[in-house]
Amino acid sequence: MLPSSPITDARALITETRAIGADVSVISFDCPGIAATARPGNFVNIKVSESNQPLLRRPFCIHNVRGNMIDVMVKSVGKGTTLLCEASCGTSAMVLGPLGNAFSIDTPDFDTALLVSGGIGTAPMLFLEKSLAAKGIPFRNLVGGRTRTDLLTRGLSNCSTATDDGSEGFRGNVVELLKHHLESTAGIGRAKVFACGPNPMLKALARFCASRSIPCELSLESIMGCGVGICYGCMVELNNADGELESILLCREGPVIDGRRFTTEERP
């Protein structure tokens, strides 16, 4: 998981907004400085309003890079994200990035990439699959949701889907879909899992990968007020090398972590 590139804080113009679900939009920003150095797994922190309400910026995975443009996938869940989803083309926002580390795709320790995501966790996967394809690395997207309307697969290729209610694709959760895929697909070779989604899903996935000795990288989510380690708002507990819990700042040591660090339950 490589460290981040030099950070830019720039006023960026919104060039396009596209609704891809009932409460999810992809928003494009003209950010040449960030687009030039971003890597899959990086995130940006966006000031969603010119006023101090809301005060804190909001973190978003970089969904895609297109020339000077970056795309972010935004789910409207509160005041800040709703303001961003409703922003008009031609308006601007302060965008800080690229932040955090990146998925490790430059090492020769795997033959096939399995991109496992749930819900809004598909956000970093388009940028990741494009980078894998550019390197000639085979990949498969495994996307899960409670029901078919939760599946955010727009723009993704080589997709298999799973829904809890069986309304689309495999009936079950995405970890069960991964197990089925591994058992039913020949010629995968050395597989590596790259994942993003809700914490319960990621914990189950980390345990499954550990039980099969499959390398696994997880992109975690947390509240990040500053994105650079000043506010200490994104502290999470992970396993260290001795299997003991330690606190880290996710914006500085993540958001991408080794799945083996996420296999124990959090303290009550």
pLDDT tens per residue across span 74-133: 999 988 899 999 999 999 999 999 999 999 999 888 999 999 999 999 999 999 999 999
Across the range 29-34, mean pLDDT stands at 97
Q: Using DSSP bridges, classify how beta strands 58-66 and 43-47 pair: parallel, antiparallel or unpaired.
A: antiparallel
C-alpha 266, offset from chain centre: 21
**Superfamily (CATH H level) for 8-99:** Translation factors (2.40.30.10)
Please give the CATH architecture assigned to the domain spanning 103-218: 3-Layer(aba) Sandwich (3.40)
**8-99 and 103-218 share one fold:** no
pLDDT in tens, 153-191: 999 999 999 999 999 999 999 999 999 999 999 888 999
pTM of the model: 0.94
Minimum mean pLDDT among 44-48, 236-240, 262-266: which range? 262-266
pLDDT above 90 as % of the chain: 78
Q: What span, in angstroms and rounded, lies between the C-alpha atoms of 268 and 256? A: 24
pLDDT at position 267, please? Answer: 40
Sequence ranges of the domains in the chain: 8-99, 103-218
* Higher pLDDT among residues 267 and 165, named by residue: 165
Helix (H, G, I), strand (E, B) or coil at 262: helix
Answer whether 90's CB lies under 8 Å from 14's CB: yes
Angle at 133 between CA 201 and CA 65, to 5 degrees: 80
Q: Identity (one letter) of the amino acid at 120?
A: I
How far apart, in Å, are the Cα atoms of 39 and each of 3, 80, 131, 165, 249? 10, 25, 8, 35, 20
Count of CA atoms in the C-beta half-sphere (13 A) of 261: 21
Place of tokens 């308006």: 91
C-alpha 192, offset from chain centre: 16
DSSP 83: H
pLDDT at position 123, please? Answer: 97
Across the range 49-57, mean pLDDT stands at 79
pLDDT at residue 4 greater than cutoff 60: no
Give the helix ranges, DSSP H, for the chain: 32-37, 79-85, 125-134, 174-184, 199-211, 250-253
pLDDT at residue 245 greater than cutoff 70: yes
Answer whether 160's CB lies under 8 Å from 177's CB: yes
